[in-house]
Homo-oligomer: A and B are copies of this chain.
Amino acid sequence: MDRAHAASLDAADPLARFRDAFVLPEGVIYLDGNSLGPLPRAAAERSERAVREEWGRGLITSWNAAGWIEAPQRLGGKLARLIGAKPSEVVVADSTSVNLFKLAAGALSLQPGRRTLIVESGNFPTDVYVLEGVCALAGATLKVLPPDEVVAAVDQDTAAVILTHVNYKTARRWDMAGVTAAVQAKGALMLWDLCHTAGAVACDLNGVGADLAVGCSYKYLNGGPGAPAFLFVAERHQAQIRSPLSGWMGHAAPFAFEERYRPSGDIRGMLCGTPPILGLSALEAGLDLQLEADPALVEAKGQSLCRLFIDLVESRCAAHGLVLTGPREMAQRGLHVSFAHPDGYAIVQALIARGVMGDFRDPDIARFGFSPLYLSHADVWDAVEILREVLETRAYEAQEYRTRSAVT
């Protein structure tokens, strides 16, 4: 295996043309698109138009004339195509955490008599934190269980099970169809967190009959830092579900200024406050770009990049104690790869200093994301060579790589 092999894979890459659609700084191999995707060139233009034309010239009239007021549904309709949903089942709004709060409480509203939510331990922490908040306010019970105990624990009091399809740390991917069916067979609702799924691996929410889902748009969808998140409510639940965050944008007639809340009865009922237009505008460019790519090709290329990375690290850095975390089988994982190492934090910092951007997750995980639209197999080769050099020279032992930043 050599760099020419990697280059030959790139020569046959049907998604190669997408690389030019992104701003990728000189000298950087960006393996952190699973945390914050890079800037699509079109997003910079779209953002400037939103600011200078729509806000600057259009002022208040842009709520109608520039389509601002429909943006949460318009973007939701686009995003729906990436996750196997109908356009009328998805909106883009708020943060993932806020959307999870809405849907977890909404699940309780759909399941009178069932007062327990079940979540896996080892989930991305905010999921557990938010569910704690829902249960504390609603007087419901939260069970945090090891992943392999979740399905068996579902009982007559379980309103919903909340799982993250692809784990943020290990990249382990749940069997979405099997778990959804097993949970629903016991009368509970299935709520999927798609943060590491949308834009990365195949997802067919309606195909598996999922009830509810949330996810973020700043990772593989390249929506920008803190871009608005999305949520999905299956059509069959929309008339009954109640969002506790019953803000005016979820009202059946927001501009009638009625005294009491009257939910819209469709997916708009999950909206709350005034939509964040600047964030939505940049995101729309990222979504439009993503929709040009065949999802099957996206997943296949991402798996090819991950497989190459794992193979190269395990062969060319074999002596240095990096241990793969999570499954090896591509069908059971997402598009980031985590290696445990006692000096994981310092190794990641040394790599960043050399232009290879990954990130670190406590306690010892060096994490690398392989976003298919802008990375090449040659990038993977080059990144591993730099990793090898960092390990062989023990460059990561320098003091400068030991200081923790606020954000890791």
Instruction: Spell out A's residues near B (CB within 8 Å).
Output: 23, 25, 28, 30, 32, 35-36, 38-39, 43-44, 47-48, 51-52, 54-57, 59-64, 68-70, 94-98, 101, 105, 121, 125-126, 128-130, 132-134, 136-139, 144, 216, 218, 224-229, 242-251, 255-261, 272-280, 282, 352, 357, 359, 361-362, 405-408
Contacts and interface: CB of A to CB of B under 8 A. Distances in A.
Given A138-B137, A247-B126, A282-B51, A39 B56 contact: yes
A276 B56 CA distance: 20
Given A38-B55, A128-B261, 12 more contacts: A39-B55, A47-B48, A64-B406, A68-B226, A68-B407, A69-B407, A126-B247, A130-B246, A224-B277, A224-B278, A228-B276, A229-B273
A35 B62 CA distance: 12
Contact of A130 (B63, B69, B137, B247): B247
A44 B55 CA distance: 10
Given A94-B98, A279-B279, A133 B261 contact: yes
Contacts of A52: 23, 39, 44
A261 B142 CA distance: 13
B129 A278 contact: no
A357 B406 contact: no
A138 B136 CA distance: 9
Contact of A125 (B126, B218, B259, B282): B259
Which A-B residue pairs are the 8 nearest by beta carbons? A95-B273, A97-B247, A97-B273, A133-B246, A126-B248, A225-B277, A63-B407, A129-B261
Given A125-B257, A226-B277, A70 B406 contact: yes
A61 B352 contact: yes
B43 A59 contact: no
B44 A56 contact: yes
A259 B128 contact: yes
